[in-house]
Structure 1
Amino acid sequence: MALFTANISKRKFSIIDFFILAFIFILFYTILKLGAGMSIPFSPKQQPAISLEPNMLPYYAGRSLLRMFIAFGASLIFTFIYGYIAAKNKFAQKILIPLLDILQSVPVLGFLSVTIVAFMAFFPGSLLGVECASIFAIFTGQAWNMTFSFYHSLVTTPKDLQEAATILHLNWWQKLIKLELPVAMIGLVWNGMMSFGGGWFFLAASEAISVLGENIHLPGVGSFLAAAVEAGNMEAIYYSILTMLIMIILVDQLFWRPLVVWSQKFKIELSESSDMPSSYVYNLLQRSALIRLINEWVLNPLCKVFNCIFNQIAELSTAASLSMQSRTSIKGLPTIVPLCLTVGVLYLLAEPAQEAFAMLAAMEPRELFSILQLGFYTFIRVIIALLLGLIWTIPIGVKIGLTPKLSKIFQPVIQIAASFPANMLFPFITILFVKFHVDFQWGCIALMMLGTQWYILFNVIAGTSSIPNDLIEVSSIFNMKGWNKWKTLILPSIFPHLVTGLITASGGAWNASIVSELVSWHENDLVATGLGAYISQATTQGDWPKIVLGITVMCIFVVMINRFVWHRLYRLAEVKYHID
């Protein structure tokens, strides 16, 4: 399918095409130049020095952006594979979805403690190992939210459209690209935007790594900020914040805003709104003759080849499945592939889980109770952070989602606020807490909210933007206003997206506790009693048993919440609150 189709035959080459061509060449040259710096020789004793000179920030910004987009590409691949298997196979769903909820809640520093050593062993003497560990940490901040969104879109696809696909005898590949991906697109774009914003948070944590007794710094804006905070250099901190703002604005205007406008074509509705979101970049691309040629000569042929290959695979897999079912009496044969994948995952987790439970068994009851108590304190903060986030994100998100003019104005602002790494603001907030003697046991909830409330807001906006315009017109015809409109149209429409937002915000809150319950500025340290501070201190000290125990207790809390809260809300969203 062509990406830009309006007035193709009338386009002629212009100055716009010259700038687009120059941009493409500069982009590819920059990627090659930055990529070369990722594989230089490296050792913990001889690592790249982080300069606090402002003229180095453009290079550091490029390195950070390259890590972000590599991690985002990996997150997309993971989203499509993991989310599709979980949605299409009931057996896999029972294991993969709870596992996904656990994975999104395991602290990034817990991942880094394991992965950095493994990646450095894969690439000995090269910076590429540390780069991969950093990219993997960013991936863990992006993938889960997008996967939840895609999975939920698949399980709530309107039944009449599913029946139409069955009547037309579409194979699984045709159904995916013609029905399921279009239905999921709006939610996927908004959650991708949120996930990318969450990646900035983990970028800052993964570029300046203090783990297992080693201090490792990668060239990037995050490590620049860490070095500035360590040196108490306020001027360098301001420069890093300004650089981060410029990066976020450029990515929003050049990448995300055009995608938001493009995704509106996939909205399920019988009538089109007269007030649609717009993007100057998207309009320029539509008028470009160069983009038309690239689309016709490169993208369309590649898509046709790709589509043909997967169509053949889908036909062969369907025929093989039918053939095997006709030759065997084993009814559960279609679950073999997900079963093998699940067994593989459990096998990889078996040894770490055995070690964790062995440590738990060897602990004294008093010490174990103390860690569980720390987990309970963090749990209370997570709940408070979610409730406070709900109070303001639902009305604001619905207003923006229903008003494209407001969306055009506030989307860049929200994107900047959501994407800006909350831990970059921690030094300033720490100074205020120290100056005004704020009780950090409660004050750390504000730090936790800075990194989690946006998950709820973006999902509310995505859910509101997905409300068919014909339903909005019907509500106007029947003069629905106030609470009647909210309970009849708005809340039921956004409920599935709201559940996704709450799940990812909950996981983000547990993850954010690792940096929110222990902050420092120069010689001042603020510590809140909780599981996040416990894991953070253990990670800095390189105390591996405590790291494993802390993460294990956190996983226990997450599993319990998943089983008794999120699983039931997801089921309610699947059965009752989706558009058919």
Structure 2
Amino acid sequence: MFSPLLALTASLASVGRVFATIAVAIVSGWLLAYLSTRSRVFENIFIPAIEILESVPVITFFPVALIFFIENLGGYAGVEAAALFLVFTATAWNIWLGIYQAFKTVPGNMVEAMDNYMLSFSQRMARLYIPYSIPRISSELIPSFTNGLFYITVSEVFSIGSTDYRVFGIGSLIYDLSSSGHYIEALYSLALLAMIVSLIVIGLRRFSEYAIEKYGLETESRIHYARRGVIRGAGLSRLSRAVTPIARISRYVARGGIHLPSIENRARLSAIWKISKYVMVIATFSILIYIAVIKIEGIEPSLWEYLFSRIDRDLASIAIDYARIAIISLAALTMAIFLGYYVATKPGMERIFIPASQVIAAIPAPAYFPLLYGITHRYIEILLGPLSSEFYVLLLGFISTYYYIFYTYWLGVKNMPAQFWDIMDNLSLGFWDRLRMVLLPSTFPYIVAGMTATINGAWGGLAIGEHWPNIYDGRSLEVSQGLMRELALASDRGDLVLLTWLSLLFSISVAIYAILITRRLMDLAGKRYIAEEAVFAA
């Protein structure tokens, strides 16, 4: 029998965990960002570390967190700590980076006034830095809440060997109801969760609008985009803080707050920056390797032989999962390009679609996917036969991550300089010409950032879908090959050595991908595809 009180309590427990981690991320972000503004050495360590951690899929941290917290804390406290740590890694990096950029763009005359009055640290934070960072923080709340809720429902129930670990929450409640065949009760619980999420998203949107009105500076970009009808305070992406950097910098330079370095100094700072990033890459993965060695250093030589004998199979599994990620990402990008442009150019559609899609995206896919599977699996199996499992894994990865690239591309289209729209209209360009000549080049930085987040989020969907026992009515969802499947099977068997080994291989592959592909795309976007610089140069 459905218990509304139990479902409400479980939903509030899960939501409470998410907001607790967001609060910790905000408070720690204030302290770390302030240290970065005061120490160049700390800044050169802090920012590369964030960029590296932000490019690593959240699911990579979970096996390490399980091993560490459960073995060292044990009991319910260890399980709770592991779940909270996973959610923290899903929410912290964007918030930290947003606060840092807010602190770095505080107008120089305001900082000078604080220095003249010789205000203490607490007075500076309370009167200047914290208020100035609130608009940036508000822009991160909805995506952080969405990410956190997705991963909290994933981490509330998991198994290692024959031992089940769980914490009380809506994820564990819906899992228990679905596993026991109480699908109507699970649907009611999901509906209640959807109502709570809707109210929270609406509240966060209102807070974002209030924060921008009360604490935002009236910059040229803000006036321009408000006039063009952008829904201010939507909080769709971290890219909202990069809307016209040329206009912002020129405004602060006029006040004497920022002195641009010489060409020689800029080259030297660029070299230091690159060296710092590579040092942080080496340090981060040295820590991962150290943890892995500590875990497996005591194993027998025969087991070492087994691990190395299966490396070809493991690398093939990684390659297969990257192929799945590519399919999911390309599908999401295709949808974003067409739907994002349509929504951006139709104000009436935009006012309805964007808030509604935010609510839908905030509802965690693992909570409702078993019910979707139960309704559709008969028809999909008739259509696709043996490929039906592959279809569901790709579908779960898609609905877990499509909104990243959609929102960033939509925001990129909305933030295109007005001159670009005038040129396209004056030349009477059709959609395909607009797309090829203007839209894709001018939104390329947004696309790169959005695709990076999409790829990272898709790993979470694969981690759940490649091996999902008893997803619906005694049926299981499973593919024949894939690294996430191997990780799940190792976890089910309680094989912590293999779990650590596979996590290490995965982390190395992510590092290689980030250095060879992600970083180069971001550098290319920053050097050749900055729309504001084209307008400024003209």
TM-score by length of 2: 0.72
Residue 543 of structure 1 corresponds to which residue in structure 2? Answer: 495
Change in Cα spacing, 1:573 to 1:178, as seen in structure 2 (3 Å) is farther
Change in Cα spacing, 1:441 to 1:487, as seen in structure 2 (3 Å) is closer
Matched, 1:527 2:478: yes
Deviation of residue 387 (structure 1)? 0.4
Cα-to-partner distance string for 1:134-155 (whole Å, 9 max, x where unaligned): 222222222345567778x789
Report percent identity of matched pairs.
18
Change in Cα spacing, 1:112 to 1:97, as seen in structure 2 (3 Å) is same
Counterpart CA distance in 2 for 1:364 and 1:144 is 33
Residue pair 2:69, 2:82 contacting (<8 A) in 1 also: yes
Change in Cα spacing, 1:226 to 1:130, as seen in structure 2 (3 Å) is same
> Which has the higher mean CA deviation after the structures are superposed, 369-378 or 424-433?
424-433
Query: Aligned to 2:312, which of 369, 390, 394?
Result: 369
**Structure 2: gaps spanning 5 or more residues:** 116-120, 235-270, 534-538
Give secondary structure in 2 for the equivalent of 1:363. Answer: helix
Residue 352 of structure 1 corresponds to which residue in structure 2? Answer: 291
Change in Cα spacing, 1:116 to 1:190, as seen in structure 2 (3 Å) is farther
Matched, 1:379 2:322: yes
Residue pair 2:490, 2:498 contacting (<8 A) in 1 also: yes
Amino acid at match of 2:15: L
Query: Aligned to 1:555, which of 507, 511, 530?
Result: 507
Higher RCO structure (Cα 8 Å, ≥6 apart): 1
Counterpart CA distance in 1 for 2:131 and 2:438 is 25
Change in Cα spacing, 1:110 to 1:394, as seen in structure 2 (3 Å) is farther
Amino acid at match of 2:399: L
Change in Cα spacing, 1:391 to 1:335, as seen in structure 2 (3 Å) is closer
Counterpart CA distance in 1 for 2:421 and 2:224 is 10
Cα-to-partner distance string for 1:153-173 (whole Å, 9 max, x where unaligned): 789x9xxx99x9599979999
Matched, 1:421 2:421: no
Residue 233 of structure 1 corresponds to which residue in structure 2? Answer: 182
Matched, 1:458 2:395: no
Residue pair 1:389, 1:449 contacting (<8 A) in 2 also: yes
Residue pair 1:104, 1:140 contacting (<8 A) in 2 also: yes
Cα-to-partner distance string for 1:264-283 (whole Å, 9 max, x where unaligned): 856753645446456999xx
Give the number of aligned pairs: 467
Change in Cα spacing, 1:234 to 1:471, as seen in structure 2 (3 Å) is same
Deviation of residue 75 (structure 1)? 3.4
Counterpart CA distance in 1 for 2:67 and 2:476 is 23
Counterpart CA distance in 2 for 1:568 and 1:341 is 17
Change in Cα spacing, 1:476 to 1:441, as seen in structure 2 (3 Å) is closer
**Structure 1: gaps spanning 5 or more residues:** 1-50, 282-331
Amino acid at match of 2:165: I
Counterpart CA distance in 1 for 2:113 and 2:517 is 36
Query: Aligned to 1:73, which of 18, 23, 43?
Result: 23
Deviation of residue 214 (structure 1)? 2.9
Query: Aligned to 1:101, which of 55, 80, 104?
Result: 55
Amino acid at match of 1:115: F
Residue 433 of structure 1 corresponds to which residue in structure 2? Answer: 377
Give secondary structure in 1 for the equivalent of 2:159. Answer: strand
Matches within 5 A, 1:244-255: 244-255=193-204
Residue pair 2:179, 2:474 contacting (<8 A) in 1 also: no
Give secondary structure in 2 for the equivalent of 1:246. Answer: helix
Cα-to-partner distance string for 1:388-410 (whole Å, 9 max, x where unaligned): 11010122223334555433211
Counterpart CA distance in 2 for 1:103 and 1:136 is 14
Counterpart CA distance in 1 for 2:499 and 2:346 is 46
Change in Cα spacing, 1:525 to 1:105, as seen in structure 2 (3 Å) is closer
Give secondary structure in 1 for the equivalent of 2:165. Answer: strand
Counterpart CA distance in 1 for 2:528 and 2:161 is 48
Deviation of residue 219 (structure 1)? 2.5
Deviation of residue 103 (structure 1)? 5.3
Residue pair 2:463, 2:485 contacting (<8 A) in 1 also: yes
Amino acid at match of 2:508: I
Deviation of residue 253 (structure 1)? 1.0
Counterpart CA distance in 2 for 1:262 and 1:488 is 36
Residue pair 2:442, 2:529 contacting (<8 A) in 1 also: yes
Matches within 5 A, 1:22-421: 53-77=3-27, 97-102=51-56, 104=58, 106=60, 108-118=62-72, 120=73, 129-144=78-93, 146=95, 192-211=141-160, 213-259=162-208, 262-263=211-212, 268-269=220-221, 271=224, 273-274=226-227, 276=229, 348-349=287-288, 351-355=290-294, 362-363=305-306, 365-421=308-364
Deviation of residue 464 (structure 1)? 3.2
Query: Aligned to 1:496, which of 428, 445, 462?
Result: 445
Counterpart CA distance in 2 for 1:436 and 1:570 is 39
Give secondary structure in 2 for the equivalent of 1:232. Answer: coil
Amino acid at match of 1:58: L
Residue pair 1:207, 1:218 contacting (<8 A) in 2 also: yes
Residue pair 1:389, 1:456 contacting (<8 A) in 2 also: yes
Query: Aligned to 1:577, which of 526, 529, 534?
Result: 529
Residue pair 2:392, 2:465 contacting (<8 A) in 1 also: no
Residue pair 1:268, 1:468 contacting (<8 A) in 2 also: no
Cα-to-partner distance string for 1:406-443 (whole Å, 9 max, x where unaligned): 33211221112211111123313433335542421343
Counterpart CA distance in 2 for 1:83 and 1:489 is 36
Give secondary structure in 2 for the equivalent of 1:209. Answer: strand
Give secondary structure in 1 for the equivalent of 2:443. Answer: helix
Amino acid at match of 2:291: P
Cα-to-partner distance string for 1:537-560 (whole Å, 9 max, x where unaligned): 212222101211221121122122
> Which has the higher mean CA deviation after the structures are superposed, 260-269 or 458-467?
260-269
Give secondary structure in 2 for the equivalent of 1:106. Answer: helix
Deviation of residue 570 (structure 1)? 0.7
Counterpart CA distance in 2 for 1:444 and 1:339 is 35
Residue 567 of structure 1 corresponds to which residue in structure 2? Answer: 519
Give secondary structure in 2 for the equivalent of 1:413. Answer: helix
Amino acid at match of 1:524: R
Give secondary structure in 1 for the equivalent of 2:310. Answer: helix
Counterpart CA distance in 1 for 2:90 and 2:54 is 12
Counterpart CA distance in 1 for 2:433 and 2:290 is 54
Residue pair 2:146, 2:363 contacting (<8 A) in 1 also: yes
Counterpart CA distance in 2 for 1:351 and 1:239 is 46
Give secondary structure in 1 for the equivalent of 2:168. Answer: coil
Counterpart CA distance in 1 for 2:109 and 2:442 is 26
**RMSD between aligned residues:** 4.5
Change in Cα spacing, 1:244 to 1:418, as seen in structure 2 (3 Å) is same
Change in Cα spacing, 1:402 to 1:354, as seen in structure 2 (3 Å) is farther
Amino acid at match of 2:203: L
Amino acid at match of 1:106: T
Residue pair 1:228, 1:234 contacting (<8 A) in 2 also: yes
Change in Cα spacing, 1:475 to 1:495, as seen in structure 2 (3 Å) is same
Counterpart CA distance in 2 for 1:196 and 1:113 is 26
Counterpart CA distance in 1 for 2:111 and 2:438 is 32
